[in-house]
Each structure stands twice: as structure tokens, then as C-alpha cells.
Amino acid sequence: MWNTEGGSAALLGVQMFMLIFAVGVLLGTLVGGGLCVRYLRREIAADVGPQLRQINLKIETLESVLNLALVSRYAELAASQNHAGSERTRLAGGS
């Protein structure tokens, strides 16, 4: 079946070994890359969750502070307008 003259069988054996080795290397690289991508995706998704919650809390705190500042400023403006209005009424001879 195989021609064993002149070392062609040995050459065929070496070629088969190299082919099997190359296929093994390629399959190992493919499987390893797939596992690496799967692991990285899981880790990235796991790490982002707590950071997003922390950022969300900071944004909510900032929103609360801004709302408090706006309400305080609005109350100051309303109080000063009421005070100015009562001064004008008093100076104009009102009650």
C-alpha cells in the first residue's frame, strides 16, 4: 500500500506529524481564544454593575443638591419680593 523505498514512508510520517501538530495548535488557539473572550465578557459585565450603581448614586446626590439650591434661591427671591412689596406699600401710605 505505502511505498517504503527511499525513505518516502518516513517523509510521509513526518508530514502527517506536522499536519496533526498544526491542526492541534489551531484548535487549541481557537478554543483558548473562545474561553478567554467568554471570561473577559463575564468579568467586564460583573465589574461595570457596581460602578454604574455608584455613578447613579452620585448623580442622584448632585440632583438633590441642585434642587435644594434652586428651591432655596426661589424662596429667597420670593421673600425679598414680598419684603420689597410691603416696603412700597408702607411708604405709599398703606396700612
Grid cell at residue 83: 419684603
- pLDDT, tens digit, 9 for 90 and up, residues 36-84: 999 988 888 777 778 889 999 999 999 999 999 999 999 999 888 887 6
**Cβ-based neighbours of 2, under 8 Å, separated by 6 or more:** 8, 9, 12
Q: Give the amino acid at 29.
A: T
Query: 63-72, long-range: CB within 8 Å, 24+ apart, which pairs?
Result: none
Q: All 3 cell numbers of residue 63?
A: 440632583
pTM of the model: 0.43
| Residues 89, 86: Cα–Cα separation, whole Å | 5
